Amino acid sequence: MTTSDLFEETYSALLANKTRSGLTMLGIIIGIASVIAMISIGSGAQTTIQSSIQSLGSNLLMVLPGVQRGVGTQISTGRGGAQSLTAADADAIAALPTVKAVSPEVSSRNQVTARGTNTNTQIIGTNIDYLLTRNTELDTGQFISEQNIRAASKVAVIGPATRDDLFGAGNDPINQTIKIKQIEFKIIGVTKSKGGSGFSNPDNLIFIPYTTAQRFLTGNEYLTTIDVQAIDQNSMADLQTQITAMLLERHNISDPQLADFNILNQSDIVAAASSITNTFTILLGSVAGISLVVGGIGIMNMMLTTVTERTRGIGLRKAIGAKKRDINLQFLSEAVMLTFAGGFIGIILGWLIAYLISQFGGISTSISTFSVLLAFGVSAAIGIIFGYYPARRASNLNPIEALRYE
Amino acid sequence: MIECKNISKTYKSGSIETDALKEISFEIKDGEFVAIMGPSGSGKSTLMHIIGALDTPTKGEYFLDGQNVADLSDDQLADVRKLKIGFVFQSFNLLPRATVLKNVMLPLIYAEIPEKKREALAKESLENAGLEESHFFHFSNQLSGGQMQRVAIARALVNNPSLILADEPTGNLDTKTGEIVLGTFQELNREQKRTIILITHERYVAEHADRIIHIRDGKIVEDEKNHKERIIHHSR
C-alpha cells in the first residue's frame, strides 16, 4: 500500500463520518487551543515581569545596609536597619575597574508642599549616575550636577506623577519651588515616565543631591543604598565578590557571616521572578494538558467504535491480501490525521484566544514558536498513543471471524 | 494446481477438542470447476478457509502451485491470498460507501499495482464478470443482489488469481439471479480456463460444476464426476 493510497483511504474514511470525526476533533482542538492560550498568558506574564525588572536598570548591583550585631549583644536592628554605608564606600566602589556607574541613595518619605497643594512621596538623594544605574531619562531641564552635590544645593528633579500631583498635568514646573520639611527646593528638571504604579512607582519620586538629603532630611552621613552598574553582564558576579571583599575590609569585619551589608544582584532577582512565572506557566499548561488527554481518550473511544463497525471490512481487506501492517497503518493514520487536523485548528484558535485576551483582557500574552511546535508534537503523539491500541486491535482481528461478524 | 495431503484440523475449546477435518486428501487440477458440497457442520467451511489460505491445518500438507501453504506465517498467508486467490462471499462484502470501480480496485491497492493501471484492469475485470458499464460509477449499495455479486466476482478476478473460491455465492440471491451468477462462473471456467471451487450445501448449485466432492463429518464421502449438464442459457 503506497503512501498516497493510505492517505486517500484515511481521508475518505474520516469524511464518511463527518459529524463523528468533527466532534472527536473538537476535543483535540479545545485541548491544544487551551494549552497554547495558557502558555501564552504565562510567558506574557514572564516578559512583563522581566521587563519591569530590567527597567530598574541594567547590570545592576544594589548594596544595602545589613543587620549589624554588636559584639556580645543579641539585639538585632533588623535587615536594612544598620547604618553602615557611607559616601566614602560609594567612592571606593567607583574606583573598581569593572564599574561603569555608582549612585549613592539616601531615601526618605516626606510630606511635600507646593503652592496650595501637597503630597506625600519618596525623596531620593542621589547623584548624576542615577540616570545610568536606574535607566532613568530626563524629560525637561537637567539632573543633579557635581556642583549641586559639592554645594549641597537645594534643587530637586521630580517625577512626572509627582508633577501632576503638585502642579497639574501639562504645567511646566521648572524654576517653581517646593517645600520639604519647611525647606525650599528649586525644581530644575522632570524625568520621563517609566510606567508602573503602586507603592514603588518610579514616576512618583523627587530627586535631590544626596549631600542635601544627608544634611537636611536625615541629619547623618549614611546612605540607604548604593546602586552599582557593572560594565557588562559577565562581570557582575566578579564585581559582587570584589565589592563584598572591599567593604568587609573597609568596615573591619573579618567574618563574612557578620557582614553589615547585603548585595542584591539584579540577575538573581530576574532568576527568582522567572522561576515564579515558570511555575505559573507550568501550572496553567498542565491544567490545559488535562483537557488534551481527555481529547485523546475521545479519539481512542471513536477509533474503537470504528474498528468494531468496520470489522467485516477489515476481514475482507485481510482476505484479499492486506497484511497486519497495512491494517495497523490505516487505523493509526486515521487517528493521527484527526489529531493533526485538530492540532492545526487548535493552534489557530489558541492564537486567536491569546490575541483577544491581550486586546480586551489587559493581560499581555506572547506565543513562542516553541509552544506551537510543542502543541503540534503533542497532538501528533496523542494520535499515535491513543490510536495505537485500536489499530492493533483491528490488525489482530482473525479474518475468518471478522468476515462472519454481524 | 491444488494438492491436499492428509489434512486435519482440530479446534480446542477449553479442554474439549473437536475434529473439524479428519485426514482429507484430494487434488484439483488447473482449469477444473469443482463443487465442495456438504451439510452445515460437515467441515466444508473449515476446508474452504484452509484452501483459501485464511487458516492453516493442524496436521497435513497443502500445496498451492507447488508451494506448501500449511506452515506459513500470517504475512506470508496474506501474500498467498493477495496473489493467488480470489474470494467470492455469500454476503458479497463490498465496501458500501465506495463506487463499484473503487471496490474492484481494492485488491490492486494492496498488490501495489501502479495507480494508472488499476482502472483499466478493474474495467476489464468488470466486463469479464458481466456488469454493464453504466454501473461502474454507482455506489455499491445502489446495486441489486445479482449486480453486487458480479462486482464481487470482478474483484476476485482482478488480480488474475490461479484460484477463485466462492463460498455459497448464491445463498443471498433468488433462484433466477443465482442461475445467472452460476452461469458467469461456468463461462469463466470454460472460456478463460479459470480454476473455480464452489462451496455449497445445495445439490442443485453443486451440479453446475464438473466435479463434486461430498464431505460429511470432516471426511470425503464421495468424489464424483458430474454428468448432469446444467448449462445456463441466459440472455445478457
Express each pLDDT in A32-91 by its tens digit. 999 899 888 888 888 888 777 777 777 889 998 876 555 555 555 555 556 788 999 999
Nearest chain A residue to B155, by CA: A320
Angle at B92 between CA B88 and CA B94, to 5 degrees: 115
Number of domains in chain A: 2
Residue A76 lies in a domain: no
Do A296 and A394 lie in a common domain?
yes
Same domain for A171 and A304, yes or no, is: no
Closest CA to B20 of B54, B45, B55, B2: B45
**Per the domain annotation, does B14 fall within a domain?**
no
Do A183 and A108 share a structural domain?
A: yes
Domain that holds residue B129: 29-46+79-225
Q: Do B107 and A321 touch (CB under 8 A)?
A: yes
Question: A125 and A247, same structural domain?
Answer: yes
Distances (CA, A) of A310 to A220, A319, B126: 90, 14, 25
Is there a domain that residue B58 lies in? no
- Looking up cell 455465492 gives B169
Is the same domain home to A42 and A157? no
pLDDT of residue B230: 62
All residues of chain B having their beta carbon less than 8 Å from the beta carbon of residue A18 are none
Report the C-alpha gap between A117 and A39 in whole angstroms. 47
pLDDT at A67 (0 to 100): 66
Residue A316, min C-alpha distance to chain B (Å): 7
Q: Which of B54, B78, B87 lies closest to A322 in CB terms?
A: B78
Question: Using the 8-state DSSP alphabet, how is residue B46 labeled?
Answer: H
Q: Distance between CA A318 and CA A90 in Å, rounded?
A: 85
- pLDDT confidence bin for A275, thresholds 50/70/90: confident
- Based on the fold, state whether residues A199 and A315 are members of the same structural domain: no
Q: Among all chains, which residue has been given the C-alpha cell 506557566?
A: A281
CB A390 within 8 A of CB A304: yes
How far apart are the CA of A6 and the nearest CA of chain B, in angstroms? 9
Please indicate whether, in this complex, the C-beta atoms of A319 and B54 are within 8 angstroms of each other: yes
Total count of domains within chain B: 1
Which residues 317-336 of A are in CB contact (within 8 Å) with B? 317-326
Distance CA A273, CA A279 (A): 10
Does one domain contain both A15 and A150? no
Are A107 and A189 within one domain? yes
DSSP string, A231-289: SSGGGHHHHHHHHHHHHHHHTT---GGG-SEEEEEHHHHHHHHHHHHHHHHHHHHHHHH
Nearest CA in chain B to A318: B78
Quick check: B236 pLDDT over 50? no
A404 min Cα distance to partner chain B (Å): 10
Tell which wins on pLDDT, A263 or A361.
A263
Instruction: Search chain B and give the residue with CA nearest A16.
Output: B97
In a domain, B12, yes or no: no
A contact test, residue of B40, B46, B80, B93 with most A CBs within 10 A: B93
Asked whether residue A171 is assigned to any structural domain, the reply reads yes
Over pLDDT 70: what percentage of chain A? 95
Residue B226 pLDDT class (50, 70, 90 cuts) = confident
Distance CA A288, CA A33 (A): 9
The pLDDT value recorded for residue A73 is 53
Cβ atoms < 10 Å from Cβ of A390: 24
Same domain, A20 and A126: no
Q: Give the domain extent around A339.
A: 3-52+272-404
Pair (A375, A292) in one structural domain: yes
CB of A252 less than 8 A from some CB of B? no
Asked whether residue A131 falls in the same domain as residue A216, the answer is: yes
B154 pLDDT above the threshold of 70: yes
Query: Mind listing the pLDDT tens digit for each residue in A103-159?
Result: 999 988 899 998 888 999 999 999 999 988 888 889 999 999 999 999 999 999 999
Q: Do A399 and B54 touch (CB under 8 A)?
A: yes
CA distance A93 to A151: 23
Mean pLDDT across chain B: 89
pLDDT tens digits for range A215-236: 999 888 899 999 999 988 888 8
Better-scored residue on pLDDT, A30 or B70: A30
Instruction: Give the pLDDT band of residue B235 (cuts 50, 70, 90).
Output: very low
Tell me if B145 is assigned to some domain: yes
Tell me the shortest Cα–Cα distance from B93 to chain A, in angstroms.
7
Q: Where are the beta strands (DSSP E) in B29-92?
A: 33-37, 59-64, 67-68, 85-88
Q: Do A322 and B110 touch (CB under 8 A)?
A: yes
**A286, A44 in Cβ contact below 8 A?**
no
pLDDT of residue A200: 65
* pLDDT value for A84: 83
**Residue A260's pLDDT is what?**
84
In a domain, A110, yes or no: yes
Tell me, what's the pLDDT at B137? 93
CB contact under 8 A, B89 and A2: no
pLDDT digits (tens, 9 = 90+) for B128-152: 888 889 999 999 888 998 899 999 9
- The pLDDT value given to residue A72: 53
Q: Residues A389, A318: one domain?
A: yes
pLDDT in tens, A92-105: 999 999 999 999 99
CATH code for position B217: 3.40.50.300
Does residue B19 fall inside a structural domain? no
The answer to whether residue A8 is domain-embedded is yes
Q: Report if residue A71 sits inside a domain.
A: no
Residue A334 lies in a domain: yes
Residue B109: per-residue pLDDT: 92
Closest-CA residue in chain B for A404? B91
